[in-house]
Amino acid sequence: MKTILAAAVALIASAVSFNAAASGNIEAGKAATVKFNCMACHGKDFKSPIDPSYPKLAGQHQDYLAHALTAYQRGADGPNGRGNPIMGAQVKPLSRQDILDIAAYLHSLPGSLVLEK
């Protein structure tokens, strides 16, 4: 019985740690936005882009951000891809963990995203 209980605890602990890793690390995401110079276009606070056609990223939904970055990596010809030469070049060197970390960081920032009116 102790063996079964120990195995169940180990399984739950590994599921929780996998879930935490899959959600991204905010501090690592902050460092990645500096390393990859995201604020050059999206603004220092990530809600004041240099061009009105560029999206405000602060406070955006984490899963949406991760999906968008992955879609830019796929490019316009990839499945569910997005074609933008600037973003395509910017996200090319990102690892899956970089994407999760950046998405977690940007989601954690206060933003002007309107959820209800």
Concatenated DSSP letters of 2-32: HHHHHHHHHHHHHHHHHHHHHH--HHHHHHH
pTM over 0.85: no
Phi first, then psi: give them for residue 73, nearest 5 degrees.
-65, -40
- Burial class of 65 by CB neighbour count within 10 A (0 to 12, 13 to 18, 19+): buried
**pLDDT tens digits along 10-58:** 556 555 444 444 689 999 999 999 999 999 999 999 999 999 999 999 9
Name the architecture of domain 24-108: Orthogonal Bundle (1.10)
State how far the alpha carbon of 84 is from the alpha carbons of 32, 80, 96, in Å: 20, 13, 19
**pLDDT tens digits along 44-100:** 999 999 999 999 999 999 999 999 999 999 999 988 889 999 999 999 999 999 999
Listed by start position, the domains of the chain span 24-108
Rounded-to-integer distance, Cα 78 and Cα 84, Å: 12
Rounded-to-integer distance, Cα 49 and Cα 112, Å: 13
